[in-house]
Structure 1
Amino acid sequence: MKRRDILKLAALAGASAVVPGVLSEVRAGPIGHTGPYWITIQAGWGWDPTLFCDPKGAPVNATYDKAQIAKAGNIPYAPSNENDAFFGKYASRLCVVNGIELSTHQIEAAFRQMWTGALEPGYPSLAALLAAGLGGGAPMPLISAGGFEETAGLVPRTRLVGAQPLDWASLTAPSADMASLFSPMTETRIAQYRRERLKAKLATSLPPGIKSVIEAAEAAELSRPKLEQWKAHWPSPLSDDPSRALIQLTLAAFKAKLSVSANLWWMLDPAVTDAAQVENFNDWTARFDVLMDEIEAFGLDNSVILVASSGGGRTPMYLDEQMKGHWSVGSMLLLGPGIPGNRIIGGTDENLRGLPLDPSTLEPNPTGVRLRPAHIHRALRRLAGIEASAEAKAFPLDAEDLPLFS
């Protein structure tokens, strides 16, 4: 692949990733994680589950009646052509969790709680914790496309987001511009000199901040040959659709065993009306189709776990001009190895309050447990096998263990 072609493809991807000027984003480490890989999908501006996977009908929704609620397998959903296609295609593999109660109406805090399991700040996102627990030593353990992406210092974050054209070749061949000036042997000596110079710098007395930057630079220098494996798995050509290209780059990192988890950020347009929500869901399901198509194309059908949610839902009542506000009860969709399909867990009443669940059967029980993000995160930690890891223990979650995915 020629350098100008890589520049063109990177521009089309709208990607902003690790470059020599952002060396802290990549590090050296063992390569060997073979899955499952994890992708979290964040709905950026909050979705309305009653227009998707927790249907209610009138009066909660003015767009359809209760009699119109559709169903695919065991999963009921709000009626629309796009929802028909989505649930018809994926219901047998989907686990839908409704009635997840958040502890706040404040949007940013609610979003943080949904994606960390904890209300208090400072906890890593699910994707970051998984990257640290399963493959923190990999060069690019965590890929992120925005949204809530707190790492709590556990792992470096490789960001694939933005509109700047990047020289992807510089990831693995930073001196590509001078390829005609130096022989391969000279290039090797230059790289060796850089590494020795960085080590010499580290041996001196340095402020902590400067030292961490130099350590990251050293790690990045050692990682460059490994990143060639990433480029080897890029499709040719890379899609000219930015959303698809970002997915392709992410899955290529999985195939190259450079990354463990990724965070995608969809549904970015504010949607305070039903019409805007429906439009967002139509876009969301179309993106999901692209993701699933690419997972299959990369041969990762049985190797990727998807976790999709938002920072709550929308109010059960309409406000001025048929708009709705943020609501502190939400839903989550999961799919992948270890996730039971055709399953719905939890629910909400007509006031969109979460239904208490029996802690053993998960059936509604008025004296049961109210489902919170902490319950789900504890279950996902167990599923990933990191519940006893040092990383998980450093960020404990106060909740009962529920048989959500067993």
Structure 2
Amino acid sequence: MKRRQFLQLMAATGMTAHMPLWTPKAWAAAAPEKFLVVVNASGGWDPTSICDPKGLNGLYADRSTRYDGSTNSVALDNGKKFGQIQWSAIPEYTTDTDALTRIEGQFDQFFTTYGNRLTVINGIDTGTNNHDTGNRVIWSGKDEIGYPSLAAYFAAATSPTLPMAFISNGGYDYTDSLVARARASSASFINEIADPNRYSGDRGFLYRSANRSVDQYETVLAAQQARIQRQLDEEALPLRRKQLSQLFGVRSEDSNLGGLTVALNDIQDNVDRDANWNTNRSNSLKSQAQVVVAAFKAGLAASANLNIGGFDTHGNHDASAYPQLGDLLEGVHFLQVALQYAGIADRTTIVIGSDFGRTPYYNSGNGKDHWPVTSMMVLHPGSTGGKVFGQSTDAFLAQKINRSTGLADTSGDVLTPAHVNQALRELLGVDGGTLSDNYPLRVNAFDIFA
């Protein structure tokens, strides 16, 4: 029997009446053993400008000017390698030498610092150049509507009862009702939830007069709990009741949100955003990372989406893409430093990807348009030696590769997001059981992380 049929049967037979009602600590659960962070480069990044560089020797290198055809506008630098990983040099698109030095430092520091734990997956054929479809297929493995995102799937498989099991800051975050999706992008948002009666400067406490002669907070709490109980009583579907209970648990003063604010303040006080690596760079991504790591440390969440935009570079690609790619890497570095400070870096897998790739040539506006071939990067515990699995052609086309070695093989298969998601499920230990049966990927396995 399918999951949806089972839920319909439960509702029809009245079994939903036996679901337990909400209590503030109803969803307390043990802290997860492993964590997952998905970092989405929204808009469609260009792998040839970062982890699958082609240099000036691609299919279009014989054109007469810099931008009208070459796969990239900068030659390969053989010094930019770690293990099998090659990363792009930075083109001199500007006279701002400080900016060029900053971006080159971001690239070089990231790959040399994390190369030994990094797996780069190149030559992935998404089969689309549509943003919505690309986002969905990259992060779920399927282009059809209805499959949960990798992060939601992981949270549902490992820690579905945590109050903030899956935190999303954007990107593809469909849950198919497996877990509640929590939005928590900033410290101020967390503080507002954790302390509704917080002190607010000259006004004093929000629900209390300045001289404390009138205190309405207990009245407010009683009204809130009565409203919560009415909502639960009126909800017939068991999954909806469960999700509402999770949400109300998050909002409860008796939940662990107090611990979250303590963890968040600790990270903010001791992990300096501007010291890792540049002042005023990638601040949104770093803010998202602070909240997520604090939620992990407090035992409230198992997975999260981080999201950074600016990669849909139809015009002035070099001037736009390289600074944004550098800031993406800086944000991931800050996330890793925060995870290390929290003592959970060795239990956390970070997956970096985007909707699709960009054309292996420049358009008339010096930009690059949508292209179905892309790459993903996975930073995970354990040494990889700087591994690359899969490869694209010199013209940045997908090709058949050997499922064991990842090298070009005419008798092999084309690597797709379904293969990558299947390998990630296996790496994370969530490839079996009911969830896998309900959301099968049905592909031959590639030994990406073997």
Identify whether the pair has TM-score above 0.5, normalized to the shorter chain: yes
- Residue 200 of structure 1 deviates from its aligned partner by 6.0
Conservation of the 8 A alpha-carbon contact between 1:69 and 1:79: no
- Residue 181 of structure 1 deviates from its aligned partner by 6.7
Which residue number in structure 1 is paired with residue 54 of structure 2?
56
Q: Does 1:230 align with 2:230?
A: no
- Residue 120 of structure 1 deviates from its aligned partner by 0.7
User: Among 193, 204, 214, which residue is 1:171 paired with?
Assistant: 193
Which residue number in structure 1 is paired with residue 421 of structure 2?
377
Task: Give the secondary structure class of the aligned counterpart of 1:316.
Answer: coil
Q: Which ranges of structure 1 fall in alignment gaps of 5 or more residues?
A: 1-23
Conservation of the 8 A alpha-carbon contact between 2:138 and 2:417: yes
Mapped to 1, the partners of 2:237 and 2:445 lie a distance apart of: 44
Task: Give the secondary structure class of the aligned counterpart of 2:374.
Answer: strand
Q: Does 1:261 align with 2:303?
A: yes
Conservation of the 8 A alpha-carbon contact between 2:49 and 2:88: yes
Q: Does 1:96 align with 2:120?
A: yes
- Provide the TM-score with structure 1 as the length reference: 0.82
Matching of residues 1-400 of structure 1 within 5 Å: 28-58=26-56, 59=61, 60-66=70-76, 70-80=80-90, 81-82=104-105, 83-161=107-185, 166=188, 168-175=190-197, 177-178=206-207, 180=212, 195=225, 198-199=228-229, 202-203=232-233, 215=245, 218-220=248-250, 224-236=254-266, 237=268, 241-268=283-310, 270-272=312-314, 273-337=317-381, 340-400=384-444
Conservation of the 8 A alpha-carbon contact between 1:235 and 1:248: no
Which residue number in structure 2 is paired with residue 7 of structure 1?
none
Moved more, 389-398 or 319-328: 389-398
Whose Rg is larger?
2
Mapped to 2, the partners of 1:210 and 1:141 lie a distance apart of: 16
Map Cα deviations across residues 282-317 of structure 1 (whole Å, 9 max, x no partner): 221222222222122222221211000111111112
Mapped to 2, the partners of 1:27 and 1:156 lie a distance apart of: 16
Report the CA distance shift for 1:120/1:175 in structure 2 as closer, same or farther (over 3 A). same
Map Cα deviations across residues 180-206 of structure 1 (whole Å, 9 max, x no partner): 5799xx95x986786577446644687
Report the CA distance shift for 1:32/1:182 in structure 2 as closer, same or farther (over 3 A). farther
Task: Give the secondary structure class of the aligned counterpart of 1:321.
Answer: coil
Amino acid at match of 1:31: A
Map Cα deviations across residues 262-298 of structure 1 (whole Å, 9 max, x no partner): 1000143532312211121122122222222212222
Conservation of the 8 A alpha-carbon contact between 1:315 and 1:327: yes
Map Cα deviations across residues 193-234 of structure 1 (whole Å, 9 max, x no partner): 865774466446879999788656654465742222212212
Task: Give the secondary structure class of the aligned counterpart of 2:345.
Answer: coil
Mapped to 1, the partners of 2:213 and 2:156 lie a distance apart of: 40
Mapped to 2, the partners of 1:89 and 1:169 lie a distance apart of: 34
- Residue 360 of structure 1 deviates from its aligned partner by 2.9
- Residue 35 of structure 1 deviates from its aligned partner by 2.8
Identity of aligned residues (%): 28
- Provide the TM-score with structure 2 as the length reference: 0.74
Q: CA RMSD in A?
A: 3.3
Conservation of the 8 A alpha-carbon contact between 2:52 and 2:122: yes
Report the CA distance shift for 1:104/1:196 in structure 2 as closer, same or farther (over 3 A). same
Conservation of the 8 A alpha-carbon contact between 2:167 and 2:305: yes
Amino acid at match of 2:435: E
User: Among 385, 395, 402, which residue is 2:446 paired with?
Assistant: 402
Moved more, 169-178 or 362-371: 169-178
Conservation of the 8 A alpha-carbon contact between 1:267 and 1:283: no
Mapped to 1, the partners of 2:168 and 2:76 lie a distance apart of: 39
- Residue 146 of structure 1 deviates from its aligned partner by 1.2
Task: Give the secondary structure class of the aligned counterpart of 1:235.
Answer: helix
Give the length in aligned residue pairs.
Answer: 377
Report the CA distance shift for 1:74/1:141 in structure 2 as closer, same or farther (over 3 A). same
Map Cα deviations across residues 20-46 of structure 1 (whole Å, 9 max, x no partner): xxxx9x994232133321100000121
